[in-house]
Amino acid sequence: MGIVGNTGIGYRGFLILDTGTSKILLPCTGAGPDITPTLITPDNIHGSVDADDSQQAHRIHYAEGQVTYEGDIEFPFYEDNTVWEVIKNWIYTNRTTPMPTVYFSPDGALIHKYSDVYVATADISNRGANNLITIRLRIVAEHRTEPGSGELSGITLNLLSTEATQNKVPVPFWRSMMELENIYTDTTGLVPTAWEIRINHNTTTVFVANGSNEPYAIKQGLVVVEGRITLYKEGGVPLPSHRKGKVVIKVGGTLPGSPFVTFTMNNVALVRYPYPMRAPSEVTTRDLEYQAFAGKYNATQPDDYKLPALQIS
């Protein structure tokens, strides 16, 4: 299926990641990256030329401010080695190395080319029953231009569900599982209904006085890993036994022994664990809101403290 045309309609929108060696087309939703202009509007005192001063209480001038290129994209989790390797490196493993080029079009008619694109936040979510596991990214770029003639020719959509890839492209909610350690002394009957991992890079955009209102540089800050686990148990979900522990989330592959990807957080602290009343026809669940830290919750050896807050394998 060709992707570039002149019909401005939603289904023709697309996002392409250009790694420098290959171009990957991602079926996605969300607002996508866009230009965000600003105005500098001073509140200068300017007096009045009218007898009724209240009619002159308005700003009188402005200047163009800085511009940013940012936005959100969301796409299903794909059990595809090529795609996942690119996504994993971009959102976490090589977080300070930007995607060289991202092409985005909301409608297949207007196409923009973004360069040096960083991930500010990444949310990997399982929203529960009859939903797909999704990845939502907040991305920030240094520059935007228009692609050259023929730059995107020949790219086709290939992440399709077939007999061989069904339940892998994309991955449904039920093809995941979770393991908890120490948070509950007894995990009998405790099952997850939903979960979320959020990676926040505390990204900073640098602007300088160099004759341009575009970003000069983008820097990745402190990594904060946090999220939420929703638990269900017949007879009610008890309070956690301990506030710290280990969380392992497995997605895809052959569960439990050979998952496609494993997210391991060895040092998790619970921030909140509310147990609210739910709607009349909903089961009652407990949300464990957590933050992950470097090291192990039960560290005993020097190397235990060197582990990152999140390991992806």
47: how many CB neighbours lie within 10 A of its CB?
6
Alpha-helical (H) ranges within the chain are 81-88
> Within a domain: residue 4?
no
- Count the neighbouring beta carbons within 10 Å of the beta carbon of residue 65: 12
Alpha carbon distances (Å) from 286 to 161, 167, 229, 238: 34, 28, 8, 8
How is residue 94 written in tokens? 């090589």
Token pair 């770029």: residue = 141
Cα–Cα dist 67/35, whole Å = 7
Decide if 78 is inside a domain: yes
Alpha-carbon distance 63 to 156, whole Å? 43
The one-letter amino acid at 152: L
Residue 242 lies in a domain: yes
pLDDT at 189: 95
Count of structural domains within the chain = 1
Q: Which two tokens stand for residue 271?
A: 């921030």
pLDDT the model gives residue 2: 45
Judge whether 230 lies within some domain: yes
pLDDT of residue 17: 94
Domain that holds residue 132: 10-36+64-312
pLDDT in tens, the chain (313 residues): 344 555 566 777 889 999 988 889 988 887 789 999 999 998 877 766 665 666 667 788 899 999 999 999 999 999 999 999 999 999 999 999 999 999 998 888 888 999 999 999 999 999 999 999 999 999 999 999 999 888 887 787 788 899 999 999 999 999 999 999 999 999 999 999 999 999 999 999 999 999 999 999 999 999 999 999 999 999 999 999 999 999 999 999 999 999 999 999 999 999 999 999 989 888 899 999 999 999 999 999 999 999 999 999 9
Closest CA relative to residue 195, chosen from 145, 133, 270, 149? 133
Tokens of 138: 């907040």
- What are the DSSP E strand ranges found in the chain? 14-18, 23-26, 34-36, 39-40, 63-64, 68-76, 99-105, 112-126, 133-145, 176-181, 191-200, 204-206, 217-219, 224-232, 244-251, 261-272, 286-292, 311-312
Residue 21 placed within a domain: yes
Name the pTM for this structure: 0.92
Please state, in angstroms and rounded to a whole number, the distance separating the CA atoms of residues 183 and 189. Answer: 14
Number of neighbours of residue 130 by Cβ within 10 angstroms: 8
pLDDT at res. 58: 76
Q: Is residue 46 part of a domain?
A: no
Handedness of CA 137, 138, 142, 145 (dihedral sign): positive
Q: What angle do CA 63, 65, 67 make, to 5 degrees?
A: 150
Q: Is residue 139 part of a domain?
A: yes
As given in the structure block, the two tokens for residue 196 are 């979320």
166 half-sphere exposure, CB direction, 13 A CA radius:
3
With respect to residue 105, please indicate whether it lies within any of the assigned structural domains: yes
